[in-house]
Amino acid sequence: MAKITYITHDNQKHEVEVQNGLTVMEGAVQNDIPGIDADCGGGMACATCHVYVKEDWFNKIPKKEDGEEDMLDMAFEPKTNSRLSCQIVVSDEIDGLEVNIPSKQA
Amino acid sequence: MIKTDALIIGAGPTGLFTAHQLKLIGLNCEVVDNLDKIGGQCIELYPDKPIYDIPAVPECTGEELTNNLINQLKPFDIKFHLNERVEEVKKENDNWLVKTNNGKSFSTPNVIIAGGVGSFEPRKFSPKECEKFENKSLFYSVKDKKIFKGKTVSIFGGGDSALDWAVELSKECSVNLIHRRDEFRGAQATIDKVHQLAKDGKINLFTQYQMAFVKGDKNLQSIDIKHDNNEIKNLKTDYVLGFFGLIMQLGPIANWGLNIDKKTIEVDTEKFETNQKGIYAVGDICNYPGKLKLILSGFHEGALAARACFKLARPNEKYRFEFTTSSKTIKERLGVKGD
């Protein structure tokens, strides 16, 4: 289990416990956290589960694999700390992760 | 006004197989899709990605799956209405009257929504001011390249569309190509060409920049682009093109009086009918307890919805279940010889 904090665009903090092995996207969808659309369901094909990862965490979590950066080109207002939350797998190591959800996904 | 036994909205795998099932049981149907090609998400999102969970097909790409489904429809004469988005569905006597954005209209007892996550629309620039210039001097696709001749065009994006148009328009226009990172994701040959043209001064390349603001009253005058390090550059430009791919939007479906929860339509699991009699939803867009967003589930849902359509399209006939292996009637419909 890991505690993940999702911060929505209006600065609301949503703290949830997410099971290991799920993705940060699934943690959001299962807990009804607003702002993560995940239209393609985790196939890295739509860029609507886009989040910003706090700098210190950004360097700590496993790096982007092929294809994620390409998909991020399509995301709404991508920044250097952008990630697709469907590609971040939850484990004990990321306990305490904070992600910011953009104002919209498209 | 086109009359048909069933109208299918969406030409993705589920819509295609549903069409097959309708024709197999002797109903006619027409298919409408907002995209310019058949295949839905399979073609638009993952044409080259392998799929491993289609029954009896160990591995195939989105494009191969689409082509196989189109081949399976070959025996039948099915009219596809591409580049048409359904805007309105309303009851008229016992039928549904369906209208598209380009003025086509259909009258049918059965509407099958196989719309995936909705219709594909271009992804847009984030600054709100961009809307003001949309379809005047700011575009998300090119319909007539002649209007750019001799002008300055600023192209945003890092994929094939952006690169191809940068190369093409650099022949007769002054081109700025702006992308959020140094790497491009198009065909290598085109990427090389773009870098060569940039070296020769034919394309002004701005990487690690994104659109920040557009300026102008009636006509677009210039744009501000912002570097990752927050530095702002102002570029004079006559036109802006944005190529950020497509996004799925539920769109007008939300206004048809259907029970919608989290962008999906509630259906029963006998007919896959919505709360409106004669309107069905199948594939990714439908929702019921236990729903799986798999292509194979869409096939099952389409097969059952097609049987339900029979009752409304042929109220005085009785539907008889038959196998393709043994039914003479079905073999005739398929144009294959019996035993």
Q: How many domains does chain B have?
A: 2
B249 touches chain A (CB under 8 A): yes
CA–CA separation, A5 and A13 (whole Å): 6
Task: Establish if B167 belongs to a structural domain.
Answer: yes
Closest CA to B249 of A44, A36, A39, A28: A39
CA–CA separation, B317 and B304 (whole Å): 18
B27: domain CATH number?
Answer: 3.50.50.60
Give the per-residue pLDDT at A17: 97
Last residue of a domain, one of B198, B221, B244: B244
Last residue of a domain, one of B244, B270, B293: B244
ipTM of this predicted complex?
A: 0.83
Would you say residue A45 has pLDDT above 90? no
Three-state secondary structure string covering chain B: CEECCEEEECCCHHHHHHHHHHHHCCCCEEEECCCCCCCCHHHHCCCCCEECCECCECCEEHHHHHHHHHHHCCCCCCEEECCCCEEEEEEECCEEEEEECCCCEEEECEEEECCCCCEEEECCCCCHHHHHHECCCEECCCCCHHHHCCCEEEEECCCHHHHHHHHHHCCCCEEEEEECCCCCCCCHHHHHHHHHHHHCCCEEEEECEEEEEEEECCCEEEEEEEECCCCEEEEECCEEEECCCEEEECHHHHHCCCCEECCEEECCCCCCECCCCCEEECHHHEECCCCCCCHHHHHHHHHHHHHHHHHHHCCCCCCCCCCCCCCHHHHHHHCCCCC
Computed from CA positions of residues B120, B67, B102, B114, in that sequence, does the dihedral angle turn out positive or negative? negative
Selecting from 3.10.20.30, 1.10.1760.20, 3.40.30.10, 3.30.10.20, what CATH number does the domain A2-100 have? 3.10.20.30
**Is B232 found in the same domain as B189?**
yes
- From chain B, the residues in CB contact with A39 under 8 A are 117, 247-248
Mean pLDDT, chain B cut into blocks of 10 residues (339 residues total): 97 98 98 95 87 96 97 96 95 95 97 92 91 94 92 96 96 96 94 97 96 93 96 97 89 92 93 98 97 96 98 96 94 85
**Is B306 found in the same domain as B164?**
no
Task: Establish if B339 belongs to a structural domain.
Answer: no
A11 touches chain B (CB under 8 A): no
Contact between chains at B245 and A40 (C-beta distance less than 8 A): no
- From chain B, the residues in CB contact with A70 under 8 A are 158-159, 185
Distance from CA of A10 to the nearest CA of B (A): 17
Give the per-residue pLDDT at B338: 62
* DSSP states along A44-99: SSS--SEEEE-HHHHHHSPPP-TTHHHHHTTSSS--TTEEEGGG-B--GGGTTEEE
Distance from CA of B256 to the nearest CA of A (A): 21
Closest CA to A71 of B123, B321, B222: B123
Residue of B61, B123, B128, B208 to mutate for A, most A C-beta atoms under 10 A: B123
A55 touches chain B (CB under 8 A): no
Q: Which residue's entry shows tokens 């294809």?
A: A67
Sheet holding A97-100, edge to edge: A13-18, A2-7, A97-100, A50-53, A82-84
- From chain B, the residues in CB contact with A50 under 8 A are none
Give the per-residue pLDDT at A85: 97
A-B C-beta contacts closer than 8 Å: 50
Last residue of a domain, one of B213, B244, B275: B244
End-to-end Cα distance, chain B: 41
Q: Provide CB contacts within 8 A for B223, sequence distance 6+.
A: B154, B211, B212, B213, B214, B215, B234, B235, B237, B240
Would you say residue A11 has pLDDT above 80? yes
Task: Establish if B270 belongs to a structural domain.
Answer: yes
Bridge-based pairing state of the strands B29-32 and B79-81: parallel
- Percentage of residues in chain A with pLDDT exceeding 70? 100
Bridge-based pairing state of the strands A13-18 and B79-81: unpaired
**Is B68 found in the same domain as B155?**
no
Q: Is A25 left (phi over 0), alpha (psi -120 to 50) or beta?
A: alpha
CA–CA separation, B46 and B34 (whole Å): 18
Give the per-residue pLDDT at B119: 84
Task: Establish if B44 belongs to a structural domain.
Answer: yes
Task: Establish if B213 belongs to a structural domain.
Answer: yes
This prediction's pTM: 0.78
Domain extent listing, chain A: 2-100
Tell me the residue range of the domain where B276 lies.
2-121+247-334
Residue of A30, A48, A74 to mutate for B, most B C-beta atoms under 10 A: A74
**Is B25 found in the same domain as B162?**
no
